[in-house]
Structure 1
Amino acid sequence: MGFVYAVTGYKAHELGIFDQKHKGISYIKQAFKKRIIALLDDGLEWIVISGQLGVELWVGQVVDELRTEGFMIKLGVLTPFLNQEKTWSESNQELYNEILGYADYVDSISKKEYENPMQLRMKNQFIIEKTNGIIILYDEDNEGSPKFYLEEARKKQDQASYDIVYITPDDIDSIIREEQESNLDYW
Structure 2
Amino acid sequence: MNALAITGYKPHELGIFSDKHPGIAVIKFALKKRLISFIEEGVTWFITSGQPGVELWASEVVIELREDFPDIQLAILTPFLEQETRWPEHAQIHYQEILAQADFVDSITKRPYENPSQLRLKNEFIIQKTDGLLVIYDDETEGTPSFYLKPAKVRETNDGYPIYFLNRYDLEAAEEEIRNALPESWD
Residue 173 of structure 1 aligns to which amino acid in structure 2? E
In 2, distance between residues paired with 1:82 and 1:167?
29
Residue 53 of structure 1 aligns to which amino acid in structure 2? P
Q: 1:135 maps to what in 2?
A: 134
In 2, distance between residues paired with 1:77 and 1:184?
36
Q: Which runs of 5+ in 2 are unaligned?
A: none
Residue 79 of structure 1 aligns to which amino acid in structure 2? T
Q: Which runs of 5+ in 1 are unaligned?
A: none
Q: CA deviation at 1:151?
A: 1.1
Q: 2:79 maps to what in 1?
A: 80
TM-score (norm 1): 0.95
| Residues 96-135 of structure 1 mapped to structure 2, 5 A cutoff | 96-135=95-134
Q: CA deviation at 1:20?
A: 1.0
Task: Provide the alpha-carbon RMSD of the alignment.
Answer: 1.3
In 2, distance between residues paired with 1:46 and 1:138?
21
Q: 1:93 maps to what in 2?
A: 92
Classify the secondary structure of the residue corresponding to 1:159.
Answer: helix
In 2, distance between residues paired with 1:135 and 1:173?
17
TM-score (norm 2): 0.95
In the alignment of these two chains, the number of paired residues is 185
In 2, distance between residues paired with 1:32 and 1:182?
17
Q: CA deviation at 1:139?
A: 0.5
Q: 2:66 maps to what in 1?
A: 67
Deviates more, 1:83-92 or 1:172-181: 172-181
Classify the secondary structure of the residue corresponding to 1:68.
Answer: coil
Residue 35 of structure 2 aligns to which amino acid in structure 1? I
Q: CA deviation at 1:183?
A: 3.5
In 2, distance between residues paired with 1:116 and 1:182?
46
What is the CA deviation profile of residues 59-90 of structure 1, one whole-angstrom value per residue up to 9, with x for unaligned ones?
11000110023442100000000000000001
What is the CA deviation profile of residues 148-181 of structure 1, one whole-angstrom value per residue up to 9, with x for unaligned ones?
1011110001111311110011111001111222
1:153 is the counterpart of 2:155: no
Identical-pair percentage: 48
Residue 86 of structure 1 aligns to which amino acid in structure 2? T
1:163 is the counterpart of 2:149: no
In 1, distance between residues paired with 2:103 and 2:128?
20
